């Protein structure tokens, strides 16, 4: 049976085995999907052993996305621009392709599942770390009217934007100097992880604004509360988690699973 797994540290919390097993059942794919733990400096040893046993692919979560980037023999464009790999696929010649499905998972959740338009819209992304970097190419490929990155440390946002000017209309600045009237705001900052709210002016929201937090949990984040209070439609990032898994499944198996049933199941489990 074809073998896959997710590797991380910690790894106990990962929902990837549940998600991929559900995808496999639904698409009648015969595969086995497990969890791998590695010490922070032990990625290569564990992964070498896993693939030596004939495994076909691996998902990669924190803190190993840069290790996986190094491990890959070949990179997709979205992995190269993300500077990180969350999916490794063994190719027929035995080499490893590194992909990054986080950004595509975000875009498919927003565009296809939530039905929120990105094309032609003014999009604001909060944060300028690895999570933001991974989303920029997939978002710019949707042809927003403008993509603005706002970060607590403005210079980090500006450097990030410079790396992507060739891909579309992109600008950047600090959180206190955000232009007005965005149609879609995506919180890719780590603020929600510590229960904090990025200090953003309500004027950043256009009428009918949608607000997406890449974090998920049983309760709405402070950012989601804030945006709801200002009349925005909101979503957490659970659909991005399922979406990135679906994109990895497509890469490995060549078939697209439906995300809706799995998303409903995980949402129930969170409650």
CA dist., res. 153 & res. 172, Å (int): 11
Note whether 185 binds ligand ATR by CB under 6 A: no
Does 159 participate in binding ligand ATR (rule CB under 6 A)?
Answer: no
Based on CB atoms, which residue is closest to ligand ATR, 129 or 220? 129
Q: Is 8 in the site for ligand ATR (CB under 6 A)?
A: no
Judged by CB under 6 A, the residue of 59, 81, 189, 244 near ligand ATR is 189
* Interaction of residue 198 with ligand ATR, rule CB under 6 A: yes
139 scored as a contact of ligand ATR (CB under 6 A)? no
Active site residue 65: yes
Among 269, 257, 238, CA closest to 106 = 238
Q: How far is the CB of 134 from ligand ATR (least distance, A)?
A: 8
Q: Which residue ranges make up the site for ligand ATR (CB under 6 A)? A: 127-132, 151-153, 156, 189-191, 194, 196, 198
Tell me which residues are annotated as active site.
Answer: 65
Extract the annotated binding site for shikimate: 14-16, 61, 86, 102, 216, 244
Extract the annotated binding site for NADP(+): 77, 127-131, 151-156, 214, 237
């Amino acid at each position: 049976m074809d073998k896959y797994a997710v590797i991380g540290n910690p790894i106990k919390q990962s929902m990837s085995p549940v998600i991929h097993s559900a995808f496999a059942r639904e698409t009648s794919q015969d595969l086995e999907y497990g969890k791998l733990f590695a010490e922070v400096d032990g990625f290569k040893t564990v992964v070498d052993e896993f693939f030596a046993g004939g495994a076909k692919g691996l998902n990669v979560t924190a803190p190993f996305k840069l290790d996986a980037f190094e491990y890959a023999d070949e990179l997709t464009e979205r992995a190269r621009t993300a500077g990180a790999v969350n999916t490794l696929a063994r190719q027929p010649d035995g080499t490893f392709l590194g992909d990054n499905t986080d950004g595509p998972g975000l875009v498919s959740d927003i565009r296809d599942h939530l039905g929120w338009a990105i094309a032609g819209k003014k999009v604001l992304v909060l944060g300028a770390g690895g999570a933001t970097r991974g989303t920029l190419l997939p978002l710019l490929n949707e042809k927003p009217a403008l993509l603005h990155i706002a970060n607590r440390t403005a210079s980090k946002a500006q450097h990030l934007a410079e790396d992507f000017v060739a891909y579309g209309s992109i600008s950047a600045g600090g959180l206190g100097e955000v232009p007005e009237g965005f149609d879609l705001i995506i919180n890719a900052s780590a603020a929600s992880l510590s229960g904090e709210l990025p200090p953003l002016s309500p004027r950043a929201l256009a009428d009918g604004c949608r607000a997406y937090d890449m974090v998920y949990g049983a309760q709405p984040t402070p950012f989601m509360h804030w945006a709801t209070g200002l009349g925005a439609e909101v979503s957490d990032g659970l659909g991005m988690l399922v979406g990135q898994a679906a994109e990895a499944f497509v890469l490995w198996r060549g078939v697209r699973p439906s995300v809706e049933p799995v998303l409903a199941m995980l949402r129930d489990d969170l409650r």
